[in-house]
Structure 1
Amino acid sequence: MTDAAFSAGLRPSAVQGVVSLDSAVRGPGTVRFEGVGKVFHSSAGEVQALKDISLDIRAGEVFGIIGRSGAGKSSLLRTINRLEAPTTGRVLVDGQDISALQEDGLVRLRRRIGMIFQHFNLLSAKTVRENVALPLQVAGVARADITARVDEALKLVGLEGKDATYPSRLSGGQKQRVGIARALVSRPEILLCDEATSALDPETTLSILELLRDINRRLGLTIILITHEMSVIREICSRVVVLETGEIAEEGPVWQVFGAPRHPATQALLQPLQRDLPADLVAHLRPTSQGPRDRAVIDIRYAGRAAPDLSVLAQAAGAGLELLSAGVERIQGHSVGRIVLAAGPGTDLAAVQAAETTARVIGYVSAND
């Protein structure tokens, strides 16, 4: 079956001969949170896990939810398939308030929402094929249709020929591919990823993220993932929300959040990815000028636009500019980066800042440094 046919399988009557798991017409895969709050009760008292979360996730996008440990990421994700029920507010999937669903409706909802996990959750006594087939068996799908659907899913994740293998013989990346195939075999319209790459090494993480990106592109699934790693968000997501102590700290396109983080929580999460000033420069940097020959150190950051033209800045400066440090990357077609310059004696700093509005003096170094 082609990718188009597999994707069309998201609509019950689109592929002849395939048993439908849901007789209702499928929606496009949108999710809306309206004032969602979640309180957990324990012997130690109440814990406010989520506070007034209002958020729209668009059909077919890859959306990231990030935050430090305890920020509320998992609690928010689990409200989408109602593994957690909000204490306040509501969650709408394709415009439907899922809190109103009775048992049968909830079963149908969960068949429309696939989920993959950090630790794979495979049954060790079952083969790859048996693990992937399990959701269809529980749903009562005919054996012949199960065989065809499992074959399609295994091909999609690149595990042809591994169907008779047991999980103990698989690598971590292969186990996660089995988990992805199992989530896709029911032909969901939404795929939830709960720290899906946290247990993997960096190389395997990249391969799994590339697979998820490919699945999103070929099948048009809405993918919602939670992580504590900004590198994962940068690699695959189009938009991101940052949670901090159960509240939205900031949200927006990934390039924008990376390029100009506003909230301290976002800045802290981005710190491991940011290029700091060279250590030798930091060692010599002083907050004020101590002589006429001192050089001002100018920090320029940019996001969503081309890097500043250094020749224009040098002309505005009226004196020499030395490039001390620079870094640039492309995120979603936008340039995000930082340039650090040393301005020689006699530099017109006001003219430099007029030519480049993000330029700021962060300190001074002596002419000999």
Structure 2
Amino acid sequence: MTDFTDTEFNSHIRASMVWHFTEHTGSPFWLDKRGALGFDPLTDVRGLADLTRFPDVSAELRTVPAQDLIPKGLADKPVRVYDSGGTTGSPKRIIDWNNRSRVTAWGRERLIENGVPAGGNWLHLGPSGPHVIGYDTARYAALGGGIFYTVDLDPRWVKRLLAAGREEEADAYVQHLLDQAETILESQSIAVLNTTPPLLEAICARPRLYDLVRGKVQAIIWAGTSISAESRRQLGETFFPEAAVVGIYGNSLMGVAPQRRALPTDTHPCVFEPFPATTRLDLVDEEGNIVAYGERGRVRLHLVTEEMFLPNILERDTAIRVEPREGSPVDGLADIQTYRSIDDVAVIEGVY
């Protein structure tokens, strides 16, 4: 799968304007907005730079009926609905038909480049249910012919406990999750563990479970919450030196941006790249201007797929802008950090 050049991505945007804003293919959500935009997407949007003309509609994804998000051109397709984690309030909903399958097939290639085995069984110690990460991880395992094991996790319950100051109950819930993971690892062959940084730290604090992970697992993939540079270093160098420890940045709206293979010129140990065929991630200052390479900015998402059109979305994270690798049309992102508050809502990551 080749990377999309900027020229190809601009052509993709123009074709998508016809798809999303034509009566027989567009969704009720975007067709209803067309007349109030103040410009005509069919004639005035020619490429990536024009996507900032659209409003940030992400807050509306909390309440809009999912049926209204489905493009009429996909009316006969099996569409799935997924929720965000609810970190900044009521969950946002997206729909998916084929995009996540494309992204995970591409993402799996990036994981293999970083040492994740192409085959073997996976253990997902993270959310499933309405959260798309469960689907993504199951597909990674299936593409390699492996069995998918999972321990269900309700991240919203953990966040609710922490918000209420009930840390002991939150810890008891985490131990309940780790009990289940330990049971699986004691009897099953697991090549890849997919989980979150807080749960990895909790694993390291349980000697029996830690020994099982270190002795059996060939690769550990972390995602879902931010992690400090020092914690990331300790996971790779001290706790799991024999395993490939690989990060994925992503969320329900944007998809995944796996860690790219390290380059000799990289000054950051972990650099992420989004799926170039459908996604662009800008890092912007308070005025919305893209920051210089090496500077920190807030993540701004442009997602352009058949099922979802999400331009000009300000995400909950900040990152350092990194120059693209040779041949890539997309910038890298390093040192992901989470806003402490967004729209006067405290951000509680919890375990996801």
When normalised by structure 2's length, the TM-score is: 0.30
In terms of fraction of residues, the more strand-rich structure is: 1
The structure having more radius of gyration, on CA atoms, is: 1
TM-score by length of 1: 0.29
